[in-house]
């Protein structure tokens, strides 16, 4: 259930980008049972990691703090509507609900007049297209090779996992 305190904390984290070089103004918190269990700010430039978004950093922090990769039952509060990469990470982790402040259009409007060198290098429309289509329908060229060998390892791993349960 929405709690304004947690969204305000995500916005507060995003504001740290105003004074912290290498960060961008996207903050997030993960909440479980009414308590913040993870926080993150976009550190893509600082970490030389294009996946270091506020939401993914909060997910990583929560997973470390809870010593699990299963965040079912957790909520994510973000200062901005998450991109497709972050939505995918949220779904993989099992996040139950999302609450956000600025939407994509508002974020785009805020940076629209920035010089090209200062803009985020992400084409949000392309990212959304690529994530929403089968590999054969994407813009990025893709080819499949060595599937038999890779699939054998997947089956072997699954057999081992079944035997451990």
Question: Which amino acids are annotated catalytic?
Answer: 55
Q: Which residues contact 99 (CB under 8 A, 6 or more apart)?
A: 2, 6, 7, 75, 76, 77, 78
Neighbours of 152 (CB within 10 A): 10
Helix 54-66 vs helix 4-15: crossing angle, to nearest 10: 120
Query: Exposed, middle or buried by CB within 10 Å (0-12, 13-18, 19+), for 11?
Result: middle
Determine phi and psi for 93, rounding to 5 degrees.
-75, -20
Helix 124-131 vs helix 84-93: crossing angle, to nearest 10: 40
Question: CB–CB of 24/44 below 8 Å?
Answer: yes
* Whole-number Cα distances in Å, 85 to 28, 50, 155: 14, 10, 27
């Amino acid at each position: 259930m929405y709690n304004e305190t947690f969204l305000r904390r995500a916005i507060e984290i995003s504001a740290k980008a105003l004074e912290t070089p290498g960060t961008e103004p996207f903050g997030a918190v993960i909440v479980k049972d009414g308590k913040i269990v993870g926080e993150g700010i976009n550190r893509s430039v600082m970490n030389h990691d294009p996946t270091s978004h506020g939401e993914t950093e909060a997910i990583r922090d929560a997973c470390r703090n809870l010593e699990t990769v299963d965040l079912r039952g957790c909520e994510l509060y973000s200062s901005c509507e998450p991109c497709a990469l972050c939505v995918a990470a949220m779904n993989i982790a099992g996040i139950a609900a999302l609450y956000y402040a600025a939407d994509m259009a508002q974020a785009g409007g805020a940076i629209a007049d920035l010089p090209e060198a200062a803009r985020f290098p992400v084409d949000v429309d392309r990212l959304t297209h690529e994530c929403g289509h089968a590999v054969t329908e994407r813009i990025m060229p893709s080819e499949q090779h060595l599937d038999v060998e890779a699939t054998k390892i997947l089956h072997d791993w699954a057999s081992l996992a079944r035997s451990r349960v």
